[in-house]
Amino acid sequence: MSDAFPVVIYHNPACGTSRKVLAVLEAAGYSPEVIEYLSAGWTRGQLLALFAAAGISPREALREKETRADHPHLLDDSAGNDIIAAMIAHPALVQRPFVATPRGVRLCRPVEQVLGLLDRRPLGDFIGHDVGTVRAAQEPPADLYIRAASPEDIPAITAIYAHAVSNGTASYELTPPGEDEMARRYAALAGSGYPYFVAERTGEVIGYAYAGPFRPRPAYRFMAENSIYLAPDMQGRGVGRRLLVHLIEELEQLGFRQVVAVIGDGRRNQASVRLHEAMGFQQAGVIEGSGFKFGRWLDTLLMQKTLNGGATGLPDPASLPERLFDAGR
């Protein structure tokens, strides 16, 4: 989602309501900054600023169940500053989740409270935390079609990528490339036999995915790096998953042994992380401070999935990477 509309959630992954609010954000196409405050902790200034922005008092932000059981004195009217000190010492005492966007800050209980903070609604229905679980629209459109990309798709691919470059941090490019450059990149990959797919709906390209060499040096040749980009209004609808399924299946058939996702701004682009986790990718490491975009430093997350048994056997001489190597490519 665009950094012009940043979203931050103060999240407790053990809390059902917090998980559901995060699901709503992702279903609306956001990649929120997720602050897991149980591990990150709180500062006095942070808490006071958060409560002031939300228009509530520290007493109103207390999670009463934990407070009544373990810190009953904080429920007294005379508790005053003791509440903030207790929250710093015991982060779980803070009610959750808080969400901050350019439209304000709210304690989002019930789940529906988050909708007033967003500039777009989630695709699909959801139910509040009192009666059920979020039902974000994860199934792709029924008329979705995945096919191999062609040169005729370059204008649509260029437009989708331009939006990602200009508004997001998944790509570390700063200036969107034009159609000629995108056509050159496509031809280089497709001409070497690497998979390159588009997602199409009623004749319109709404997303694309491809794989290419992880690194140019030949010993890396059995590793591929995958990339997926979607039209903004198709995020959170299962289109990326369908593209990734096709990509993985094709890479396996071509004889690759590893596929790597290099996720820009990986700590914030949680939708991409969860997609890859759902497809069996494992986190392989974080390169901290490896990008600088929109005035801030970005961490890069590496995720990896083993294909065709990985390193348990010798390479297949008939595989695409071996054939490209034999041909001097």
Is 1.10.238.10 the CATH classification of the domain at 144-326?
A: no
Contact by Cβ (8 Å): 111, 134: yes
Mean pLDDT on 163-178: 95
Predicted structure pTM score: 0.63
Give tens-digit pLDDT for 94-112: 988 999 999 999 999 888 8
Whether the pLDDT of residue 128 is over 70: the answer is no
Residues 6+ apart with CB under 8 A from 131: none
Give tens-digit pLDDT for 3-22: 568 999 999 988 888 988 99
Specify the fold of 8-117. Answer: Glutaredoxin (3.40.30)
Mean pLDDT on 185-200: 97
Give tens-digit pLDDT for 227-256: 999 998 888 788 999 999 999 999 999 999
Whose tokens are 């980009």? That residue is 229
* pLDDT computed for residue 69 by the predictor: 46
**Same fold for the pair 8-117 and 144-326:** no
Give tens-digit pLDDT for 56-86: 988 888 886 655 545 656 666 555 567 888 8
Contact by Cβ (8 Å): 114, 106: yes
Q: Is 13 exposed, middle or buried (0-12, 13-18, 19+ CB in 10 A)?
A: exposed
Residues 6+ apart with CB under 8 A from 148: 195, 196, 197, 198
Range with the lowest mean pLDDT among 127-141, 191-205, 256-270, 301-315?
Answer: 127-141
Residues 6+ apart with CB under 8 A from 112: 128
Mean pLDDT on 118-132: 51
* pLDDT computed for residue 132 by the predictor: 39
327 or 65, higher pLDDT:
327
Whether the pLDDT of residue 124 is over 60: the answer is no
Residue 284 CB neighbours (<10 A):
14
Whose tokens are 């609306």? That residue is 28
- Between CA 43 and CA 88 the distance in angstroms is 6
Helix axes 82-89, 44-54, angle to 10 degrees: 120
* pLDDT computed for residue 126 by the predictor: 47
Whether the pLDDT of residue 53 is over 50: the answer is yes
Q: Domain boundaries in the chain?
A: 8-117, 144-326
